[in-house]
Each structure stands twice: as C-alpha cells, then as structure tokens.
Amino acid sequence: MNSYSNFFTTAESYVPFWGKYRPALLKLMISSADGAQQYKFSAHEVRAANPKDKIAISFTLKMHKGKPINDIRTSLIARDLMRVLQQSGKASELSESCIYEFKLDRHFVLHVTKTEVQIDPEKAQSIVTEDIEG
C-alpha cells in the first residue's frame, strides 16, 4: 500500500489513482517544456477509481506556485489530482515560475500544457526601478 492510500481512505477518492500515476505526471510536466503532452488512461481504470462518481469526469486544472488558479471545487477528480501534486515537492517546484494546465477530456486523455508566466511590462519596469533606486 503506498502513502497515497493512507491519505484518503474513503471509496470516493481519486487520490490512490493519481498517486499511482504521480511519476508519469511529473514526467509529463517536465516534458511539457518542449510542447503539450498527452497521456491516455483506460476508461475502466478511471471509472473504477470512484464508481460512485456519476458527474462528468472531464476537467481542467490550472496550477501555479503549487496551488490551483481556477475553480475546481465541483470536480472531485481535479481536487484529488491537486492534492497529489501538492504532496510532490518536484511538482510544486516546477509550478513556481510557470502555469501548468491539466485537462482530462471525455476520452480519458490527460493533456498537460506549460505556460510561462507573463510579467506585465509596467510592473517589470517598476521592479527594475525599485532595485536600482533601492
């Protein structure tokens, strides 16, 4: 039994499912520097992770600095993915300067996209000015 099995013990949790795929998720995050990545899950495995979940399983999760930056409150599967990613120091480290988008489509394909954080030029100028004047 892995450490994620103890994290949530209810049958309504996707944490063990995501925990099993954590190494693959981290690899997708790292590889997304070269372009969007995809991973095809087996439909029956995703559904078996939480047979009581009758709500649409597809979701979009955007993560920055180890936290979700879009509303995932209505998606248990997205919230549990976020919990597993937050338990990973590497995932948190990777998301410090970038936004990662995890999108599971209705065909059970997970799309992972990395976006560099854009700094507003006026804010960047004020930061540079403060550093010079400070």
For 80-129, the pLDDT digits (tens) are 999 999 999 999 999 999 999 999 999 999 999 999 887 655 554 444 43
pLDDT per position as a tens digit, 56-87: 689 999 999 999 999 999 999 999 999 999 99
pLDDT recorded at residue 57: 85
Distant-in-sequence, close-in-space partners of 101: CB < 8 Å, separation ≥ 6 = 60, 61, 62, 63, 111, 112, 113, 115
pLDDT of residue 12: 65
pLDDT (average), residues 30-50: 94
Q: Label each residue of 29-60 as H, E or C.
A: HHHHHHCCEEEECCHHHHHHHCCCCCCCCCEE
